[in-house]
A and B are shown apart, each in its own frame.
Chain A
Amino acid sequence: MRRLAVLSFFLLAVLVWASVAFAAEPYEIAVVVKIAGIPWFNRMAEGVEQAAKELGVNAYLVGPATADPAPQVQMVEDLVTRGVNAVCVVPNDAKALAPVFNKAREKGIVVITHESPFETEAIDWDVETIDSVKYGQQPIDAIVEKLKEAGELDKYTPENPAGFVMLVGSLTVPLHNFWADVALEYAKEKYPFLKELTSRLPTAESVEDSRAAVLDLITTYGDQLKAVIGWGSLGPIGAAQAVAEKGMEDKIIVVGSAIPSTVAPYLRTGAVDWAQLWDPKDAGYAMVYIAKQILDGVEIKEGMEIPGLGPIKVEGKVISVNQIKIMPDAETAEALGF
C-alpha cells in the first residue's frame, strides 16, 4: 500500500512537471507536406527551420512517404489529436482534408494551407508566394518575346497562327489547370495569333512521359508547333530533350515551371528558353510566419509585411506575396541556389 502511494505521488509529480514544462513550451507549428524527403520539400524545410529560429517557435516539417491523400489525412489527424497549435498543410487533396481541418479548428488549432487557393472553406488562411494570375500569364508573354527576338512576329496572324501546347501535372491538379486556363484566356485576348493546338496533356510530372508526348506532338503538328508550356516542373525538361533530339532548339520555344538547378543546363543549350518558379523556402517561411501572427492574436490585413518577402495581398482567405523567380538564362537560374 505504501509502495502504491509512493508510486502515485511519483506519477503525479511527473505529470505536474510535464504540464508545467508544456505550458512553458513555445508554439508548436507542424508543416505537413505532400511527400517527405524529396528535394522540393527539403528546400521548404529550410524555410521552416529559419522561421522557427527567428520567431522562437517549435516549427518542423513532416510528410507521408507517398504523395497520396490518405496517409496525409492520417498524419494531420494525429497532429490534431496530439494538440499542436497550428498545422500548415500542402495538400495532396484539399477536399479529403476538409473534415480533419474542421475538427482542428473546433479544437482551436490554426489551419493554414499552401498551393491550394481554391478550397478555402475549411481553413483559416491559404498562403501563396506567387501571384497566380501573373504566373499563368508570364509564359505567354515570354513566348511572344521570343517570337519577336526571332523576327517572326509579323509572320503570324489569327488565320495563320503560331501553335502552342501545354503540359500539366495531371488533369486534376487545381493550380496547374488554373494557370493553364489563365494562359489560354490571356493569349486569346492579347495575342490572337497564338493558338492552342490540342488540349493540355497530363505528362508534366514525368520527364519520360513529357519527352514522349512532345516527340509525338512534333510528329503530329510539324512546323505548326511553335511553343510548349510546361506547368509541372518536369514538363519543360522532357520537352527540351525531345526538341534537342529533333535538332529543333531554334524552332520550338520551350517555357514553363522548372527547378533552377535542373533547368540550367537546358537554358544554356537553348533547349529551354525561359523558366519560372517560386522558392519553396519562402513558402515554408511564410506559412510559419503567418501561423505565428495568428497565434499571437495579430490581425491579418492587406499590406502586412512578411520579413524578406514584402507586403501581403489579401483576397478572401488567400494571402499572397509575389515572389516569382524568373529564369531567362542559365546564370540567373544557377544564382537562385536551389
Chain B
Amino acid sequence: MINLLPNVIHMKDQFITATWETIYMTFLSAIIAGVIGLALGVLLVVSQKHGILEDSIIYSFTDKTVNVLRSIPFIILLAVIAPLTNYIVGTTIGTTAALVPLIFGIFPFYARQVQNALLEIDPGVVEAAQSMGSSPIGIIFSVYLREGLPDIIRASTFTVISLVSLTTVAGAIGAGGLGDVAISIGYARFEGDVTVVAMLIILVLIFAIQIIGDRLAKHFEQF
C-alpha cells in the first residue's frame, strides 16, 4: 500500500475534505443554475415563433445572451467574472467564490438542453391544451414540464456531469476540491498517485450521478 500510494496514504483527511468541497460546489451551483437554466429554457420555447407566448424581442434577447455566455471558454470566464465574484462573495478564493463562475458557466448550457428537451414535445399536444382553455402557466407546468420530464432529467444528468468537470477547472485557480488536489499537489509536486486517486474519486462521483439520473428518468417514463 505504501509502495503503491506513497503520498495518498498521508492525505486521507485532505481527500475527504476535497471530495466534500467538490460535491458542495457541484450541487449548490447545479441547483441555482438549474433554476435559472430551466426558466430560460422554458422562456425560449414559449417566446419562440408560434410559441404560446410568442415574443420576438424576448426570444432574440434570451437566445443571443445564452449563445454569447456559452461561447466563453470556462477558464477565461473564471478570470473575467472575478470582479463580480469579489463583489458578490467578497473574495475570489475558495469554494463559495467558485459558485459564481460555475453558475454562469453552466446555466446557458442547461438552458439550451432544456430548450431542446421541450422542443421534442409534440406541438399538437400543446395545441390541444390551448383548445381546452388551459392558461399559459397551466401549459408550462402541466404540459411542457410534465411531458418533457424524462428528457429534462436526462439533460440534467448530463449537465451535472459537465459541472463536476468545471469544478476541477475552478479548483486549479484556487477553488479547492478534487481538481485542486490533483493539480496543485499531484501534478505540481510530481506525486502521481495523488492525481490518479483524485481522478478515480471523480469517476465514482460521475458514475453515481449517471446511475441516479438514469433511474429517475426511467421512473418518470413508465409509459
Decide whether A and B assemble into one complex.
no
